[in-house]
Structure 1
Amino acid sequence: MELALHIADFTWDSGPSALGPTLAQHVRDAEDIGVRRISVMDHFWQIRGVGPAENEMLEAYSALGFIAAHTEHSLLHTLVTGVTYRESALLAKAVTTLDVLSGGRAGLGIGAAWNDEESEGLGFDFPPTSERFERLEETIRICLQMWSDSEEPFEGKYYTLARTLNSPQSLSRPRPYLMIGGSGEKKTLRMVAQYADACNIFGGPDAGHKLDVLRAHCDTVGRDYDEIDKTTIFSINPDSTVDDIVETANEMAGHGFTSAYVYATGITEPRRIIDLFAGAMPRLV
């Protein structure tokens, strides 16, 4: 089991004026203790469950570019981009750019989007669930085509591209890492089996069952289940201990997960997060 740093809360004691230096130090500290995956949320307001909407939130791809400049080893991606937030070709280009400038360390985490309040507040389209999932699959297909040698047109139900030129291509081979977030059994996990390098499923009592569903989808589409990176996500808070992290991560490892993205809520000093990680990492199965 590997611990990954998921940065979901930027409301730190240092305040907005020092957010840049504080974030730079945070990711350097994470790499110093052996963290090799760093992700951020793709939201424009803080989300419920982490803090009030008014709390600090950074735009994801600007933040990842900044993090890339202050790290050397970690895989960098969103967890996860809402498909309705960016045009598909722009998203593919953003991830390619991050990959090239980071020396081949970028990936794409993507999902069907859920935050209707944020979308309505900032004027983003938020179509019905069925359309968002159709857009998600088209966007994945566009990204895969743009990360290939093909420059052929793409004609979909929602997106039309006359030429899928993407230069320079990513340094990652054969393409950037692709994670699909979510645990929907009929659509999301089927798309993981068909297209993705990784799933991301919230930790909980039914997480093991979700992997069984993924395995069944792999059998249906002829995919090797063992090729897929099984990742989970869970939170820590000011009351969390090293023992709490070890217990949760090892429990998820028992279900078959190999990486756990851990995010903090209400911990206003980033060094506290690093200390918890450092205490837990040597004790993981």
Structure 2
Amino acid sequence: MRFGMFVPQGWRFDLVGIDPAEHWAVMSDVASFSDGADSPFESIWVYDHFHTTPEPSPTEATHEAWSLMAAFAASTSRVRLGQMCTCMSYRNPAYLAKVAATTDLISGGRVEMGIGGGWYEHEWRAYGYGFPPVPERLGRLREGVEIMRQAWTTGQATLDGRYYQVDGAIVQPRPLQAGGIPIWVAGGGEQVTLKIAATYADYTNFTGSLEEFAHKDDVLRGHCEAIGRDASAITRSMNFNTVVGSSTADVAARLARIEERLVPHLGADGAAKAVESYYVTAPGALVGTPDEIVAKLEQRRAVGLDYAILYAPEAAYDRSGLELFAAEVVPALR
């Protein structure tokens, strides 16, 4: 199994209490931890969002994803760089292809393109994007991925689509990576999103219970078979909200500290609900001792998971959980 990790960027109130002037230093330090030669993490990730979740805060930071991509490209040397996931409708796809190509050059060929249809209605409307229905958001995703693939493989893109029209958009120089930047299609919609993934994706990223994950994997295989593509060419990934501790008591203490940081922003009830939904009941909750987490990931691997991406809410304040994961969980699964 392969591993990546998210860098805290504020989206889930994971930089609260830190002076904004220090945010970049904190984010860069976490990225450097993952970038180290001895690190088992092969990628770092950010979210493409503008407002905090589960509630939009008018005072707390959410740092912009592609600005961070360029900064990490220049400040790291080994680790790969991704977003989970870029919202297709937030930027013109030809422009996004150009931004990503330049970032890939800065990084020496280490960028991954996570891409999806988008969902966070509050920030869509706040930023003046409206909030089109699901079929339109997915139609934009399909056309945008086609534009990016053309741009990265030929240096130009032309498409007279329903949602996007580009006419000889030049993207030079192209990305350093042969064949263009790897595409991660995020989402598990069976009739549209997984068809897009079957056609374009190098990686998928979807969630669900063990049974749901296995079912979506079967659906993806069916779409690949229909177009004559080898389904094994697509790596399956999933994001995990991760809290790891040396004992049950340590895990409980870590969860309590996370909840305590959320209370000033979500209230006592909201903080408790957030911890419950993210770290207890969510399909992507990965909470426990190293042995417990290994067992959970082995179950996921048995139904097709290849790549685990960790979101560790403590990372800006305390890296001991990540260090424990690296020391005891990763070796058992690699």
Using the size of structure 2 for normalisation, the TM-score is 0.79
Match in the other structure for 1:232? 238
Could you tell me how far 1:150 is from its partner in structure 2?
A: 5.6
The answer (yes or no) to whether the contact 2:155–2:174 under 8 Å persists in 1 is no
- From the superposition, tell whether residues 183 and 5 of structure 1 become closer, same or farther in structure 2 (CA, over 3 Å): same
Match in the other structure for 2:203? 198
Could you tell me how far 1:139 is from its partner in structure 2?
A: 0.2
The answer (yes or no) to whether the contact 2:5–2:41 under 8 Å persists in 1 is yes
Alignment of 1:122-137 (within 5 A): 122-137=127-142
Correspondent of 2:324 among 253, 266, 276: 276
- The residue type equivalent to 1:283 in the other structure is A
State the alpha-carbon separation in 1 of the partners of residues 83 and 57 from structure 2.
19
Could you tell me how far 1:6 is from its partner in structure 2?
A: 2.0
Could you tell me how far 1:115 is from its partner in structure 2?
A: 0.6
- From the superposition, tell whether residues 202 and 53 of structure 1 become closer, same or farther in structure 2 (CA, over 3 Å): farther
Match in the other structure for 1:15? 19
Alignment of 1:201-220 (within 5 A): 201-205=206-210, 206-220=212-226
Gaps of 5+ in 1: none
- The residue type equivalent to 1:178 in the other structure is I
Match in the other structure for 2:28? 24
RMSD (CA atoms): 1.9
Q: Secondary structure at the match of 1:247?
A: helix
Q: Does 176-185 or 8-17 show the bigger shift? A: 8-17
Could you tell me how far 1:249 is from its partner in structure 2?
A: 2.2
Correspondent of 2:306 among 248, 255, 258: 258
- The residue type equivalent to 1:98 in the other structure is T
Q: Secondary structure at the match of 1:189?
A: helix
Q: Does 262-271 or 136-145 show the bigger shift? A: 262-271
Could you tell me how far 1:203 is from its partner in structure 2?
A: 4.8
Correspondent of 1:173 among 178, 181, 184: 178
- From the superposition, tell whether residues 152 and 65 of structure 1 become closer, same or farther in structure 2 (CA, over 3 Å): closer
The answer (yes or no) to whether the contact 1:77–1:107 under 8 Å persists in 2 is yes
Match in the other structure for 1:249? 297
Could you tell me how far 1:165 is from its partner in structure 2?
A: 1.1
The answer (yes or no) to whether the contact 2:26–2:316 under 8 Å persists in 1 is no
- Deviation string for 1:196-242 (max 9, x for gaps)? 11100125231111111111111011110110011111102434433
Using the size of structure 1 for normalisation, the TM-score is 0.92
- The residue type equivalent to 1:131 in the other structure is E
- From the superposition, tell whether residues 19 and 251 of structure 1 become closer, same or farther in structure 2 (CA, over 3 Å): same
Pairing 1:142–2:147 present = yes
Q: Where in structure 1 do 4 or more consecutive aligned residues deviate above 6 Å?
A: none
Q: Does 157-166 or 96-105 show the bigger shift? A: 157-166
- Tell me the number of residue pairs that the alignment of Structure 1 and Structure 2 aligns: 283
- From the superposition, tell whether residues 207 and 15 of structure 1 become closer, same or farther in structure 2 (CA, over 3 Å): farther
- From the superposition, tell whether residues 203 and 249 of structure 1 become closer, same or farther in structure 2 (CA, over 3 Å): farther
- From the superposition, tell whether residues 101 and 150 of structure 1 become closer, same or farther in structure 2 (CA, over 3 Å): closer
Q: Secondary structure at the match of 2:170?
A: coil
- The residue type equivalent to 1:221 in the other structure is I
Could you tell me how far 1:52 is from its partner in structure 2?
A: 5.4
Gaps of 5+ in 2: 244-253, 256-286
Correspondent of 1:35 among 31, 41, 47: 41
Match in the other structure for 2:258? none
The answer (yes or no) to whether the contact 1:189–1:217 under 8 Å persists in 2 is yes
Match in the other structure for 1:158? 163
State the alpha-carbon separation in 2 of the partners of residues 139 and 15 from structure 1.
37
Q: Of Structure 1 and Structure 2, which has the larger fraction of its residues in helix? A: 2
State the alpha-carbon separation in 2 of the partners of residues 56 and 219 from structure 1.
44
State the alpha-carbon separation in 2 of the partners of residues 263 and 156 from structure 1.
36
Could you tell me how far 1:187 is from its partner in structure 2?
A: 0.7
State the alpha-carbon separation in 1 of the partners of residues 316 and 33 from structure 2.
16
- From the superposition, tell whether residues 188 and 159 of structure 1 become closer, same or farther in structure 2 (CA, over 3 Å): same
- The residue type equivalent to 2:308 in the other structure is A
Match in the other structure for 1:222? 228
Could you tell me how far 1:168 is from its partner in structure 2?
A: 0.7
Could you tell me how far 1:70 is from its partner in structure 2?
A: 2.2
- Deviation string for 1:240-279 (max 9, x for gaps)? 4333432332221111111111102366514234323323
Find the structure with the greater CA-based Rg. Answer: 2
